[in-house]
Every structure is written in C-alpha cells, then in structure tokens.
Amino acid sequence: MSDLFEVCFYFSDEKKYEKKAPHQFLVELASSLDLPGCTLLRSIESFGKNKKIHAENFFELQGNCEYIAIFVLTDAQKQTLYNKLKEVNFTSYITKAPVETDVIS
C-alpha cells in the first residue's frame, strides 16, 4: 500500500480562481482530478501570523471567510494537486503529515 498523507490547505476567500470562490474552485478541481475525497471546513474564529482575529459574526459576514480543506492523498496525488494549484497561482498555507487510515464497521 502507498504511503498516505493528510494534506490540509488553509486559505481565505479573498481571491477568485477562474471566477470561483477558492473553496469552490479547490473542491471542483479535486473532483475533476479523481482524488478520493475532500472535507471542507469553514472557520468560526481564527488568526494568523499577522495576529488579526477573524471571527464569524454579523459584522464579518460580508468579509473574508477562512477555510480548511482536508485531503488524504498518496504522494503522487498530492503532487498532481499541487501542480494544478501552482498553474493558477492558488495561495494557501499547507500542512502535510503522514497518516494511517482504518475503517470501523
């Protein structure tokens, strides 16, 4: 079995890619590449290296949302996704960690 990695993308909806919001673009791209799946989470509250706090509240609903997209990929799948994202200058902080998977039934 191939080594698997949990790959997480952390990004905001500030920029459009092919006239789509980044979260929509990323999920549709992953699907078109036949990747095994993606979980997309919207942040309730966060801050980054600039220490600016982003909170989902009434006043920020019109502002930028922060997202996390989580994949479990082989190294080859990860590289295919990275290459496609580089082609459109997708901006994201990314973490990658080895992962083991299992199923309970």
Look up the CATH number of the domain holding residue 8: 3.30.70.120
Q: Which pLDDT belongs to residue 49?
A: 76
**Whole-angstrom distance, CA of residue 17 vs CA of residue 24:** 9
| Chain segment 48-70, per-residue pLDDT in tens | 778 877 676 655 555 567 899 99
Q: Global pTM?
A: 0.83
Q: Is residue 103 included in any domain, yes or no?
A: no
Q: Mean pLDDT, consecutive 10-residue segments, the chain of 105 residues? A: 88 88 94 96 79 67 77 97 96 95 92
Q: Which residue has the tokens 């580089």?
A: 86
Q: Is residue 15 included in any domain, yes or no?
A: yes
Is-contact 3 74, C-beta < 8 A? Answer: yes
Q: Is residue 104 included in any domain, yes or no?
A: no
Is-contact 67 78, C-beta < 8 A? Answer: no
Q: Is residue 38 included in any domain, yes or no?
A: yes
Domain count, the chain: 1
